[in-house]
Amino acid sequence: MSATLKFITKYAVIGLACAFLYVLISGKINPQDKTIQQPQLLFSYAPAINQITTSVVSIHIQSNQRRPINAPGISPRTPYQTKNYLGSGVIVSTNGHIVTNKHVIDGATRVVVYLWDNRAFEASFVGADPLSDLAVIKINAADLNPAEFADSDLINTGDVVLAVGNPYGLNQSASLGIVSATGRQGLVESQAVQLENYIQTDAAINQGNSGGPLINPLGQVVGLSAASYGQFGAEGINFAIPSNTTVRIVNELIEHGKVLRGWVGLGFLMDAGYAMYGIPKPAKGIMVHKVHPDSAADLAGIKAMDVITHINDQTVNSFEQYRKILYENSIGDAVTLTGYNQDGDFSHNLTIEPPLSTG
């Protein structure tokens, strides 16, 4: 009897131990037991999406385009045909101002904006800037929620970002990625190449995303979605215009209808000029070729053959860098030009002026 009792006791203990382990692992005793806590999500980007959703709009564009001369079909027909396009935008003021890409509304005969709650409004044109590919349109609507813009100078490669917009008509869509690089240049074959300073990201930016926000995990705008890398087979290479550039251009467009870019009166020697004139190219900086009379640079004492190395502590090693940095400032802003000449180093404080009229 003693052996039998030991046998029963042994396996009873084993059974209780197994039951204890099952409860410990599964976390369940009874479905009706209200003391058992359901597992919580460790992290979600839902608050960021909720923060930006009411500030993102879908843009529907109509344009009239000339039909190809040899287009198939029954003749006679009207020489133009109506085409429809999609884009995105970001509300930037309670007065109804919306920023988007210039290429989104190029050639538009009608622009209709849909808000997050499906209200639709005809938009009017405020202004556009070809060099930055930014444009501002306006709607007459109440209860608008402008987006919050972050300082894009503070973002770094590896930061998490989300692209929100209207890809292929799927409004209020979001995609997740990281900042792949900053300060990308040389991506567009146009005059805008002079001002390129793109944020590169692997967050998906598809047709219809253009003009929509690239946001950080706080729901703040760090960039404006602009383009995808067009090379065959390329994936996860997309670009956005930094928020700091966007804010500056938007303010100019709202105030003036265009961007007023100034100068200080300097012309520079291009690469071919060094060989043409037999002048050694400086190891750093760019060489002044011409100083316009009575300009800010002339009054400050800058001369031909001077080499400019910095604007406001930002390094300048090409005319493209010089122009980009100068255009980050507005007419009336004070800038400091640093450089050197045969007499040594110099530093001059100048005020940006309107460019000379060409008549």
Residues that are catalytic: 103, 133, 210
Sheet-wide strand order for 120-122: 120-122, 110-114, 56-66, 80-91, 97-101, 134-138, 124-129
Residues belonging to the chain: 359
The span from the CA of 156 to the CA of 183, in Å, is 11
The span from the CA of 248 to the CA of 128, in Å, is 13
The enclosing H or E element of 249 equals: helix 243-256
Are 195 and 249 spatial neighbours (Cβ–Cβ below 8 Å)?
no
- Number of C-alpha atoms within 13 angstroms, CB side, residue 271? 4
- Number of C-alpha atoms within 13 angstroms, CB side, residue 206? 13
Instruction: Tell me the CA distances in angstroms from 164 to 170, 210, 241, 259, 346, one per residue in order.
Output: 10, 10, 14, 27, 47
The one-letter code for the residue type at 204 is A
Q: How far is CA 75 from the centre of its chain?
A: 45
Phi, then psi, of 299 in degrees rounded to 5: -70, -25
Neighbours of 157 (CB within 10 A): 12
Which residue reads 């110099």 in tokens? 346
- Work out the angle at residue 202's Cα, subtended by the Cα atoms of residues 148 and 172, and round it to the nearest 5 degrees: 50
- Number of C-alpha atoms within 13 angstroms, CB side, residue 239? 20
